[in-house]
Amino acid sequence: MMMEPERIPVHVSLIMDGNGRWAQQRGKERTFGHFEGVESVREISDECLKLGIRYVSFFAFSEENWNRPRKEVDTLMELFMSNMHSQFGNFMEKGVRYVVIGNRSRLSDKFNKTIDSLMEATAANDKMTMILFVSYSGKWDILQAARRMAAAGADDLEPYLATAGIPDPDLIIRTSGEKRISNYMLWQAAYSEFVFTDTLWPDFRKDSFHAALEEYASRDRRFGKVKK
């Protein structure tokens, strides 16, 4: 895939949806779809590296997802941790910085220690930043930022968001046919381009990603300005 450098987004974010439906269509438990979805994360991340995309983020688990069946939640948490451990060598070899963003007070001590260890170990990597949003909601982010801003006596919210220092997403892709933002990066997505696809997340691979990037490249982004 060839794209003009100025048409390549700096930050692509993906709302991964459809794992459960993908599994159910195959007569499997919902958790089976989550394991298959990990392969999509790896393939899309590798493709971002090849294309020179500097930031890729994945909405993996919302605060609302805590209301899912306990077995599914526990499986997801174990999957996140095991994948972090298995991918450590890959991140170091390829120069990927790993960041986890969300309301981490709801995560276990074991999970938080795994996150801290991986974030510290990869902090100096500079080829690409990969961000996993876990236990995250846009409303929570704005509220915690507002509280911190007020405590500091400041008048600019952005430095207090959980994403401070990370560019706002240029492109947000949502899979599985749903056409909503689902409480995700409400502040940061103000001028993001959106691409919605019917493809379920475990089937969203390189070709689907290229199609979304091509659609993004065809957009005329004016940020409220009049085109000259």
3-state secondary structure of 142: helix
Cα distance between the two ends of the chain? 29
**Residue 29: count of CB within 10 angstroms of its CB:** 13
What is the Cβ-side half-sphere exposure of residue 174, based on CA atoms within 13 angstroms?
12
- Catalytically active residues, by annotation: 17, 65
In whole angstroms, give the CA distance from residue 130 to residue 120.
14
195 with 39: CB under 8 angstroms? no
Q: How many residues does the chain have?
A: 228
138 with 185: CB under 8 angstroms? yes
137 with 183: CB under 8 angstroms? yes
Locus of tokens 């090849």: 50
